[in-house]
Amino acid sequence: MFELHPFQGDIIRELRQGYAAGHRRQMCALATGGGKTVVASHLIRSASAKGNRSIFIVDRIELVNQAADTLQAVGLRVGVMQAGNTWLHCDDEVIVGTRQTFAARGVPPAGFAIIDEAHVLAKDHIKLMEAWNRVPFIGLSATPLRPDLGGHFTNLVRGPTVAWLTEQGFLTPARAFCPGSESIERAISGVKLKRGDFVSSELADAMNTKALIGDIIATWTEKAIDRPTLVFAVDIAHSKSVIADFVDAGVSAAHIDAYTRPDERKDIIASFKAGEIRVLSSVNVLGIGFDYPGASCAILARPTLSEALHMQQLGRVIRRADGKADALILDHAGNTLRFGLPIHFEVPDLGKGEHQAASKKKAEKRMVACSHCGAVMESDQFTCSSCGIDRPGRKSKVVYRDGRLVEYGSGDDGTAVFSVEDRRGWYQAFRWYAERRGWKDGWAFHAFLAKFGGMKPPFAWKLFPGIQPSDEQARWIRHYQIRSAKRRAA
């Protein structure tokens, strides 16, 4: 029940070391799927063993029961403080409540505090941290990106990255498509910026057009029709138009927002989990709090300049679930081009208050979309990971030679020039060789890196079958193996 994975043990150890070094305010960055509950309950149990009760502060009323249930499920004695729903016992190990309730009704005495979703850090939190200056606080967040967090927390403990968790099978891999990125860019080019993000009202006008919504339905029908899907829209009107068009197309779809009656919301979410509703759209409700790991497609319809919001949304579909092989991101907002896929996310140091200029963020692009199929890939990738074609415009001009990017045709000094097909051929040969020996794909990956000077093979090449190496390739592999063996021996 309290079984810790080694990486979770490392996190707890680092937090303890931080405390021993005098840090009373620590931020723990834990990705989706990093076992937040396990880590939190372990900390609460340790505090309890020393005679300290804990408080667990959640951000919204919807999260109170969810948090109380999960903490109870791991065997803790849990109290709840909430208007009309207060359950306190004298031997509670932890009391769960929202920051609003604690601020309004007073916080029960406690010797340890955890702030959930601490990237939100509100005035209530800050006041409490100031008032309880001797009590240790730990903030939990998947995205501790708010630029002033460094002013409130003195230590950051990072859990494993999304990339590592995905590699280890704790999260499902995600692919993204961003079709029609030019029309999105056009639509949002005039939208004003405020406090680091787009102004919602203007954004809604820009995105709420038949053309953009039509693309959403068409793309989903083509790529994700069999997937339980979450839509992230700009505002209520926009969300409702998207859903209306899904319904017009004969798809069972629903919209929920903060004004949806709680019982109705519960019904809708239950129908979604049961597969009766296949597309569920919202503005903010799904961003935080609602959890259904089976959802395997996210439609991004709200352009944002907030990397935290982007990651919170993607986090909803990368959780592991039975029968779920991967997650599909249909990006009609251009957000993945700006911020990348979940595996690209890394937690930076805590901010010291400096904001990055929004206009600069808007202009930055780390990824590109294939102009043929819309697949999102790294901007230095030359072959589309999805359709396998070379990115137009790059096709005949550049190739890799000995790991360096060169103009096509400059190999007339006698050294080999590799086209994309050549390179893929080498990868397939490495695959064949590894498969025969029962080795992992990683071997082919590393052989490819060695052959092409650190250039990575596109992810989609895994879908191509192994091909028996040519004499030349077999020779190279033999030398590579000898070199590797020598390096290991050394």
Nearer to Zn ion, 159 or 458 (CB): 458
115, containing H or E segment: strand 112-115
Nearer to Zn ion, 300 or 377 (CB): 377
The single residue listed with the structure tokens 């592991």 is 320
Nearer to Zn ion, 178 or 207 (CB): 178
To the nearest whole angstrom, how small is the minimum distance from the Cβ of residue 334 to Zn ion?
Answer: 17
Nearer to Zn ion, 153 or 177 (CB): 177
To the nearest whole angstrom, how small is the minimum distance from the Cβ of residue 318 to Zn ion?
Answer: 22
To the nearest whole angstrom, how small is the minimum distance from the Cβ of residue 8 to Zn ion?
Answer: 38
Nearer to Zn ion, 157 or 330 (CB): 330
To the nearest whole angstrom, how small is the minimum distance from the Cβ of residue 125 to Zn ion?
Answer: 45
281, containing H or E segment: strand 279-282
Nearer to Zn ion, 97 or 180 (CB): 180
429, containing H or E segment: helix 420-436
User: Residue 241 is encoded by which pair of tokens?
Assistant: 């138009």
DSSP codes joined into one string, 35-63: -HHHHHHHHHHHHHHTT--EEEEESSTHH
Quote the distance between the C-alpha of residue 154 and its chain's center: 25
CA pair distance 328, 248, nearest whole angstrom = 23
The binding site for Zn ion (CB under 5 A) comprises 370, 372-373, 375, 384, 386-387
Q: Crossing angle of helices 236-248/210-223, nearest 10°?
A: 50
CA pair distance 394, 380, nearest whole angstrom = 11
Nearer to Zn ion, 119 or 223 (CB): 223
Instruction: Assess contact for 300 and 335: CB atoms under 8 A.
Output: yes
As separate numbers, helices (DSSP H) first and strands (DSSP E) second, the chain gives: 17, 19
DSSP 80: E
The neighbour count for residue 291, using CB atoms within 10 Å, is 15
Look at phi and psi of residue 426 and say left if phi exceeds 0, alpha if psi is from -120 to 50, else beta. alpha
CA pair distance 7, 20, nearest whole angstrom = 20
To the nearest whole angstrom, how small is the minimum distance from the Cβ of residue 387 to Zn ion?
Answer: 3
CA pair distance 461, 401, nearest whole angstrom = 19
To the nearest whole angstrom, how small is the minimum distance from the Cβ of residue 41 to Zn ion?
Answer: 44
To the nearest whole angstrom, how small is the minimum distance from the Cβ of residue 300 to Zn ion?
Answer: 19
Nearer to Zn ion, 171 or 176 (CB): 176
To the nearest whole angstrom, how small is the minimum distance from the Cβ of residue 372 to Zn ion?
Answer: 4
Nearer to Zn ion, 323 or 393 (CB): 393
What lies within 8 Å, CB to CB, of 182 at 6+ separation is none
Q: Crossing angle of helices 200-207/236-248, nearest 10°?
A: 20
To the nearest whole angstrom, how small is the minimum distance from the Cβ of residue 377 to Zn ion?
Answer: 8
